[in-house]
Amino acid sequence: MTLEVAGLSISARAGGRLVPLVQDVSFTLGPGEAFGLVGESGSGKSMTALALLGLLPRGVRITAGSVRLGGTELVGAADRTLADLRGRRIAMVFQDPMASLNPALPVGAQVAEVLRRHLGLGRAPAARRAVELLDAVGIDDARRRAREHPHTFSGGMRQRAMIAMALACEPDVLIADEPTTALDVTIQAQILDLLVGMQDELGMAVLLVTHDLGVVAGTCHRLAVMYAGRLVEEGPVGEVFDRPLHPYTAALLAAAPENAMHGRRPQALSGTVPLPGSLPEGCAFSPRCPHTRADPCDSPLAEQPPTRSSRRVRCARSGELTLTGVSR
């Protein structure tokens, strides 16, 4: 089932006016595809992910665009329709599993509840299937652990339990927002391996939201880079890493710790993402960009035509720049 996001814009209401947080974001996630959404903190990744599920916080809303899942429009859909799709067709894993797990209920009962609600399984089959799922995501002694409460689980184990819950209904699309950021490096790698393995097995599409290009390198087929609420570049992971077309992508790659493996010292990216509501007139990255020229960078720019069918970039100078990437 394909997820198509077209012209998505999101704004927050602040002091009587609407402040744009995300502007004109479009991408397509095909069945079985792993797609990375990358950018620094504050670039709008989480808002984009939450909007896909109809879970934007209070005071934040979609102002334009469309989100279609297998042809069904989700923008403006009734709460009931969205609630039914969440969990069954499209599921989400967050950075902090405790925010999604109920501290008062045994973990197995929580997974079983999803199965009962969405698939209509009876009490005993749901409990059995919950244990199978906990086992499948690598929780040892799953039958016993299913009866325990989330606080007895380590961070990595809670994340596994949440993945089991997300996968319970074999969703077509899994949205994972910084699923490993809170975990230490070894556990991170285990959780990512688990996600990739499950994705292969179930043929699910995965949208992986992360600030970490290293995470995308090992897991995703394609990626989109987000800056100040807009997508600035999109393409297959290998191509983008080898030859980035946007200076922001090149800067993120140069800053990645993985550079050390290639004998290069990571180059920290100076400055921060501009705040919503105070974006510069032209390209939002231009104040931090080493390639900025008043003309054309100060004039409002539209999406550039793709250089190759699989690539998109939003940089007025991309045609004249040759940027350095990293080989994976």
Ligand X SMILES: Nc1ncnc2c1ncn2[C@@H]1O[C@H](COP(=O)(O)OP(=O)(O)OP(=O)(O)O)[C@@H](O)[C@H]1O
Residues binding ligand X (CB under 6 A): 12, 21, 39, 41-47, 57, 59-60, 211, 276
Residues 6 or more apart whose Cβ sits within 8 Å of residue 155? 97, 182, 183, 187
* Choice between 247 and 276, CB closer to ligand X: 276
Walk across the sheet containing 222-227 and list its strands: 90-93, 173-177, 205-210, 34-38, 222-227, 230-236, 312-313
* Choice between 43 and 219, CB closer to ligand X: 43
Alpha-carbon gap, residue 249 to 245, rounded angstroms: 7
* Choice between 108 and 229, CB closer to ligand X: 229
Nearest residue to 41 via CA among 179, 226, 264 = 226
For the packed helices 79-88 and 107-119, what is the interaxial angle rounded to 10 degrees?
A: 120
* Choice between 58 and 265, CB closer to ligand X: 58
Closest approach, Cβ 174 to ligand X, in A, equals: 17
* Bridge partners for 60 per DSSP: 12
Closest approach, Cβ 67 to ligand X, in A, equals: 16
Q: At 265, which amino acid appears?
A: R
Q: Is the dihedral of CA 128, 129, 132, 138 positive or negative?
A: negative
Closest approach, Cβ 226 to ligand X, in A, equals: 7
* Choice between 30 and 280, CB closer to ligand X: 280
* Choice between 270 and 278, CB closer to ligand X: 278
Closest approach, Cβ 37 to ligand X, in A, equals: 9
Q: Is 108 exposed, middle or buried (0-12, 13-18, 19+ CB in 10 A)?
A: buried
Closest approach, Cβ 56 to ligand X, in A, equals: 8
Closest approach, Cβ 8 to ligand X, in A, equals: 12
